[in-house]
Amino acid sequence: MIRTLLTLSTAAALMGGTAVQAEELAVVGSWSGLPLHKQYETPFWTEDLPAATDGALTATLTTHDQMGIDGGDVYRMLGDGVFDVGMTVADYAVADSAALEALDVPLLAEDAATARAMVEAARPMVDDIYADVFNAKVLGIAPYPPQVVFCNGEITGLADLEGKKVRASGRMTAKLLEALGAEGVNVSFGEVPGALQRGVVDCAVTGAGSGYSAGWWEVSTHLLPLPLGGWDPVVTAINMDTWNALSETQQQLETAVAEKLQQPAWDAAQDALENDIACLTGNGECPSGEARDMTLVEATAEDTETAREALVGEVLPDWAARAGDDWAQRWNDSVGQVVGVTIGG
């Protein structure tokens, strides 16, 4: 599945000055067991891509967890040309770019339409980051469902997270948890069930559907559906050298990703949280499997206001200090305009 790309100069030399144009892309998808990969990524790369490019492009598809590589290494390896296309949660890559944290600001989007508007506003910033840091071109950004809180133990509201060890879904979420008096803990998604079971963490943040698919209901008892982790956008990006070597026909890939992968994922996002909560708690019909019996802890208006005050008053200014004034201004002028928030205002 994995191959090292020929550089353009080597390819040109092998073809007497004509660059080799890839016909089969080596693609690394997001988590193999989660709905985004199974319902959208897999059919796109195996079925939709060849049809959309009239057979000019096909793909071999695996995922980073199947390969045994860390999510934080996906875009680094992509930039180095180990594979052609990479897809994973943008928050996994923030160690390489503090500015990238601003793609997934928690709490500000209460519905999919607002979340998408935030992503679209942030897209020019994200494009620049991927080109400069990862030698990659962004093809699309799709959401996981809102990132909510699973706890292995009784909670009655947001205040009960104080003093608890909570697995965060990203760096900004970890900062928010700390501002709320919890301890943000870095545990990879695949290790969370064991960490909850052993008491390494008391609670953990992920998408409701992701937690359902991964069996977190087996090791947690209470669900707080407050989006403390945003919508965890997954970025689909292609190595820039590969992109530049594609023909005009093959570059229809960009439109195909937008229409056949990104759009359907966003279309499904609005109903996903309600359905996933029903599957986890038994409150309502579960359309995707057997309903479980977690205790639903309804977030109050006070919970939301407390968390938002911590976000605007502490977390966003902390991010701006780390990312720099230029990025903070770009965020204010784009994403901030969508949600009515100004950092430093």
**Residue of 29, 33, 35, 5 whose CA lies nearest to 19:** 5
- Note the pLDDT of residue 102: 92
Cβ contact 211:146 at 8 Å: no
Largest CA distance in the chain: 70
Cβ contact 292:282 at 8 Å: yes
- Note the pLDDT of residue 6: 34
Structure tokens at 300: 């109050």
Q: What length is written for the chain?
A: 345
For residue 115, the Cα-to-chain-centroid distance in whole angstroms is 12
In the block, tokens 């809102």 appear at 146
How many Å apart are CA 132 and CA 341, to the nearest integer?
A: 27
**Residue of 343, 290, 288, 293 whose CA lies nearest to 105:** 343
- Alpha-helical segments (H) within the chain: 8-14, 35, 42-43, 49-52, 64-67, 74-79, 112-134, 171-179, 192-198, 208-213, 240-245, 253-257, 263-281, 301-310, 316-323, 325-333, 335-339
Helix (H, G, I), strand (E, B) or coil at 185: strand
pTM greater than 0.85 (yes/no): yes
Low-confidence stretches of the chain (pLDDT < 70) are 1-22, 345
